């Protein structure tokens, strides 16, 4: 599912308006859709709905919601966190439409108005938050901060329009203070800040309202972020034959482990198994064997190790900063090389740049043509639009380009930072 930043959503709105859909039409669609969300997810309120509007477009959406709720027979009060003459643009048009239907507006700038709002919120069946949308870029202070505090303290279900007021659309962080919504009716596409923490806690149940952003607008603007969902993962998994066995779907060999860091080896290996590899094995220094159950591990100096290479499809080297001196002096045994089948293997160096560079160089010298990716961090940072059968070059700060080998062309980019174990698991899932 596509998720967008505030700037991308503004660009999508602007493109849609410039190509023939007036802004007030988008606003009407947004408000009507949000009113449907309220009725579907919060049921028909058994009491009064309090709609709290700001002076911008989010407030305009709130006026539309109020009109549609009243049309559905729900008693509604509209409170405005500004003077009515401060409302402009399409929002002013929707305010006028509300007033033409004899709707009243309570201005919170009047003396004693916030105290009155607090009393009305205590009796409300539902609250509609239409103070701020994605345009907010400064900490919330003054009257809006007071109103948000009243909303959070009232105890009634809260429907936020587009974005919980006070929440950053891009980071998910409250800008000073933010509404904690029960449900959010977001317009067009989910916003990045709604699907990451702590924004998730302020968003509540997220419902996406289609306001008519055409596919051509999405193509033109090109939002770059996707939310990984179960159905997307399922589409990457290949059907498995019923007579398959533990040798059918790849063997991942993880070369890893330092004192105090054995967990990285376990996480990488278990991620490979969870991602679909039939077998996974861990190679580590003998002095660390007591840290990990022995059935999972083989000492790095073991003569049995070379035999693994007859069956291994992916080799993952996981070494962070401060790794054991053992690894700094270790070289792949000479008996490995005759068993190596380069067309079936990918070798990844870890985050210890000195060690990764040395091992990668040794393997390239011993195995000309072997695909070696020696910079895991470059994968999330440097890959954009990676798809199957579309090799991509990875670079690190102007370094040598490395073509991603065919075994991992099905890999899709993920948001940084990415853990080494996640990359290992993803590689295992596409290894055959």
Q: Where along the chain do the CATH 3.40.50.10260 domains lie? A: 2-231
Segments of 257-411 assigned E as strands: 279-284, 297-299, 314-318, 346-348, 372-373, 393-394, 402-403
Q: What is the largest CA-CA distance in the chain?
A: 88
Q: What secondary structure does DSSP assign to 97-114, as a single string?
A: HHHHTT--EEETTSTTHH
CATH superfamily of domain region 2-231: YjeF N-terminal domain (3.40.50.10260)
Q: What is the pLDDT of residue 59?
A: 98
Please tell us whether the domain made up of 246-430 is placed in CATH 3.40.50.
yes
Cα–Cα distance for residue pair 165/58, rounded to 1 Å? 9
Averaged over successive runs of 10 residues, the pLDDT of the chain (432 residues) comes to 95 98 98 96 83 98 97 95 97 98 96 97 96 95 97 97 98 97 97 95 97 97 89 76 82 73 77 78 69 53 59 57 62 64 51 67 65 51 36 31 35 33 42 40
Q: What is the pLDDT of residue 135?
A: 92
Q: What is the DSSP letter of 360?
A: H
Cα–Cα distance for residue pair 283/75, rounded to 1 Å? 68
Residue 156's φ and ψ, nearest 5 degrees, are -85, 155
Q: Where are the alpha helices (DSSP H) in 156-261?
A: 199-203, 215-221, 230-236
Integer angstrom CA distances of residue 202 from 3, 42, 301, 313, 365 = 17, 17, 53, 44, 54
Q: What is the pLDDT of residue 386?
A: 34
Q: What is the pLDDT of residue 411?
A: 34
Q: What is the pLDDT of residue 122?
A: 95
Nearest to 160 by CA among 75, 81, 77, 54: 54
β pairing state of 225-226 and 2-3: antiparallel
> Does residue 218 have a cis peptide bond before it, meaning omega lies within 30 degrees of 0?
no
Q: What is the pLDDT of residue 311?
A: 58
- For 119, counting Cβ atoms within 10 Å of its Cβ (0-12 exposed, 13-18 middle, 19+ buried), the class is exposed
Nearest to 373 by CA among 390, 389, 396, 354: 396
Total-model pTM: 0.69
> Does residue 106 have a cis peptide bond before it, meaning omega lies within 30 degrees of 0?
no
Q: What is the pLDDT of residue 41?
A: 84
Q: What is the pLDDT of residue 351?
A: 57
Contact 399/209 with Cβ under 8 angstroms?
no
Q: SS3 of 364, please? A: helix
Q: What is the pLDDT of residue 314?
A: 57
Cα 297 → chain centroid: 34
């Amino acid at each position: 599912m596509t998720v967008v930043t505030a700037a991308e959503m503004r660009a999508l709105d602007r493109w849609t308006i410039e190509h023939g859909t007036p802004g007030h039409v988008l606003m009407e669609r947004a408000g009507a859709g949000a009113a449907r969300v309220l009725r579907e997810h919060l049921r028909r309120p058994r009491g009064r709905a309090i709609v709290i509007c700001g002076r911008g477009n989010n407030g305009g959406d709130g006026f539309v919601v109020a009109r549609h709720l009243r049309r559905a027979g729900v008693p509604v009060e509209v409170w405005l966190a500004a003077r009515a003459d401060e409302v402009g643009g399409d929002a002013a048009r929707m305010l006028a439409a509300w007033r033409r239907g004899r709707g009243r507006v309570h201005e919170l700038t009047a003396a004693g108005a916030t105290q009155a709002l607090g009393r009305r919120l205590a009796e409300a069946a539902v609250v509609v938050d239409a103070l701020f949308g994605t345009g907010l870029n400064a900490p919330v202070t003054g009257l809006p901060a007071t109103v948000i505090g009243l909303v959070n303290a009232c105890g009634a279900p809260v429907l936020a329009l587009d974005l919980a007021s006070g929440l950053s659309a891009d980071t998910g962080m409250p800008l000073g203070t933010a509404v904690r919504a029960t449900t959010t009716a977001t317009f067009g596409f989910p916003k990045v800040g709604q699907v990451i923490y702590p924004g998730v806690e302020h968003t509540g149940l997220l419902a996406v309202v289609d306001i008519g952003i055409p596919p051509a607008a999405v193509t033109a603007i090109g939002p770059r972020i996707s939310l990984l969902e179960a159905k997307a993962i399922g589409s990457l998994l290949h059907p498995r034959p019923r007579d398959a066995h533990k040798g059918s779907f790849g063997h991942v060999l993880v070369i890893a482990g330092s004192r105090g860091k054995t967990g990285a080896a376990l996480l990488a290996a278990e991620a490979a198994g969870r991602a679909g590899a039939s077998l996974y094995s861990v190679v580590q220094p003998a002095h660390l064997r007591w840290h990990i159950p022995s059935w999972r591990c083989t000492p790095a100096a073991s003569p049995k190790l070379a035999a693994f290479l007859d069956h291994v499809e992916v080799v993952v080297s996981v070494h962070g900063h401060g790794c054991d001196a053992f690894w700094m002096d270790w070289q792949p045994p000479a008996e490995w090389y005759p068993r190596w089948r380069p067309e079936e293997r990918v070798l990844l160096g870890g985050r210890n740049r000195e060690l990764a560079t040395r091992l990668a160089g040794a393997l390239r010298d011993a195995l000309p043509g072997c695909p070696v990716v020696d910079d895991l961090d470059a994968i999330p940072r440097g890959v954009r639009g990676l798809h199957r059968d579309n090799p991509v070059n990875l670079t690190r700060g102007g370094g040598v380009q490395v073509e991603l080998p065919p075994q991992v062309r099905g890999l899709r980019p993920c948001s940084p930072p990415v853990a080494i174990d996640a990359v290992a698991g993803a590689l295992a899932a596409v290894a055959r």
